Amino acid sequence: MCIGRRAAIMCLAIASACGGGSDATTPQRNTGPNDFTNVPAPPNGVAQFSVLPVSIAAGATLTALGNLSPPGHVLPTDHVYFYDWDLASRRPSSMDVRDVYMPATGAAFLILPITPPESKVMFRATNNFYFYLDHIVLSSPIAVGQVIQAGTRIAKTLPGQTVDLGAFDMSVQNAGFVNTARYGPQTLNCVSPWKYFTPELQTQIYSHVYRAPTAPDKDGKIDFGVAGRLVGDWFLQGMPADSSSGPYGWTRSVSFVYDYFDPTQVRISIGGTVAPAGVWGIDSTATPPANISVASGLVAYRLYGIFDFKPLYGLMLVQMVNDSTIKVQVFPGSQATTGQFDGQVATFVR
C-alpha cells in the first residue's frame, strides 16, 4: 500500500508535469478535478493482465491481499507482493535483480518517487480498471499520460527487493468499510490482482501464493468492518477523516481483522498511540471481534506474538461505547486476564 490511500496521494503527488518525463525525484500526477479519471484510458485497453510483472521465484513467494505490517501497514494491505524468497522459510535469502514488465497496457497517471531510487507508478487500463507497481527502479523516464504496452520492460528491482502489485476496479465496491470517508478509491474499489490475470497465468500464480490450505481462496480480503461490531478498522478520535493514510494516520489506527495467511486467525494490528506498533494474536477461546458489540461490555484480550513460540505480549482492554466508538488500552508485559481502564485509555472511532 505504500502511500496508497487518497490523502497520501494528494499530499505527496504535488507536482504535475503532464507530457514531461519523470526523473524519479519529482512526483508527477494528472491534473484536473478527479484523481483517477483525468488521464484517458488507452485505446482498446482491457481489464486483464497478460504478462507477469516480474518472474516468480521458487516456493511460496506470492501473497494474498491483507498483509499487516505496522506502522506502514496497520490496515490490511490493498496490494499483493512478489517476493524473491520463500515466505514459508521465513529467511530472506535472495539478492536477485529482476526485470519489471507491464502486466497490461496502461496510461500512466501518477509517478511517485519513494525511497530513491525506487518509484511507484500508477496506470489506467480501462475506464474502470487501474493498477500500480511499487518498489521499482525505472529504466527510463515515464510521462504522465504516456501509454505503455503490455510486456514492455519498464524497470528493474533492487537486489532481493519485493514488488507490489495493486489493482482497483471502479465497478467493484467493497462493503466492509464502515466509514467510507476514511478510504480512497484505491482501497474502496480494491480487487485481487490475481483474479485479473489470464487463466494460464492464474494456474502458475496460485501455486505460489502463501496461503493456508484451509483458506477459502488465495486472493485474500481487506474489508472486514461490520457496523455495530468491533471487527474492522478504527481511528483515533479527533483525527480528520481524510488523514487516515500516511505517517500521521498510521500511528493513530488500530485494526481488528484476520490473518492474510490463515484467515481463521484473529489479528489485532496496532499502529501506535496505545502501544508500540505491532501485530498480535489472541487466545483461541477468546470471543472474536466479529462477535463483540456494545452489549459485550468490557472485553479483555491477552495479546500473543504470531510467530514461533507465540510469547505473551500483554493485555488489551477494549469496550464498544456505541456502534461507532470504542475505548482501548494496552498493558504491555501484563500477565493478567482482566483489568480496568485507567487514565491512559484512548478513544477510537470509525
Q: pLDDT value at position 267?
A: 98
Number of C-alpha atoms within 13 angstroms, CB side, residue 149?
A: 2
Report, as an integer, the average pLDDT of 262-268: 98
Q: pLDDT value at position 243?
A: 87
What gap in Å lies between CA 279 and CA 269, rounded to an integer? 4
Exposed, middle or buried, 45 (CB in 10 Å: 0-12/13-18/19+)? Answer: buried
Query: How confident is residue 35, by pLDDT bands cut at 50, 70 and 90?
Result: low
The C-alpha torsion from 150 through 155 and 159 to 162, rounded to 10°, is: -50
Find cell 513460540 and name the residue.
Answer: 309
319 Ramachandran zone, left/alpha/beta (phi>0; psi -120 to 50): beta
Name the least confident of 13-17, 100-104, 341-345: 13-17
Q: What percent of the chain has pLDDT over 90?
A: 83
Q: Classify domain 6-210 at the CATH topology level.
A: Glucose Permease (Domain IIA) (2.70.70)
Q: What percent of the chain has pLDDT over 70?
A: 89
What gap in Å lies between CA 111 and CA 133, rounded to an integer? 10
What gap in Å lies between CA 288 and CA 33, rounded to an integer? 42
For the segment 121-164, what is each residue's pLDDT rounded down to a tens digit? 999 999 999 999 999 999 999 999 999 999 999 999 999 999 99
Cell of 259: 490473518
For the segment 278-334, what is each residue's pLDDT rounded down to a tens digit? 999 999 999 999 999 999 999 999 999 998 778 999 999 999 999 999 999 999 999
H/E run at residue 316: strand 312-322
Cell of 198: 489470464
Q: Which of residues 295 and 22 earns the better pLDDT score? A: 295
For the segment 45-97, what is each residue's pLDDT rounded down to a tens digit? 999 999 999 999 999 999 999 999 999 999 999 999 999 999 998 878 789 99
What gap in Å lies between CA 296 and CA 287, rounded to an integer? 10
Query: How confident is residue 29, by pLDDT bands cut at 50, 70 and 90?
Result: low
- What phi, psi does 64 have (nearest 5°)? -85, 170
Buried b vs exposed e over 172-209: b needs ≥16 C-beta within 10 Å? eebebbbbeebbbbbbbbbbbbbebbeeebeeebeebb
Q: pLDDT value at position 26?
A: 56
Question: Residue 270 pLDDT > 60, yes or no?
Answer: yes
What gap in Å lies between CA 244 and CA 241, rounded to an integer? 6
| Terminal CA-CA length for the chain | 20
What gap in Å lies between CA 252 and CA 236, rounded to an integer? 5
Query: How many distinct helices (H) and strands (E) make up the chain?
Result: 4, 20
The answer to whether residues 204 and 212 touch, using CB atoms and an 8 Å cutoff, is no
Find the length of the chain.
350
For the segment 170-217, what is each residue's pLDDT rounded down to a tens digit? 999 999 999 999 998 899 999 999 999 999 999 999 999 999 999 999
Contacts of 258 (CB under 8 A, 6+ apart): 66, 221, 224, 264, 265, 266, 267
CATH 2.70.70.10 region(s) of the chain? Answer: 6-210
Taking CA atoms, 73 is separated from 3, 182, 192, 337, in Å, by 10, 15, 17, 28
Residue 302, strand partner residues: 315
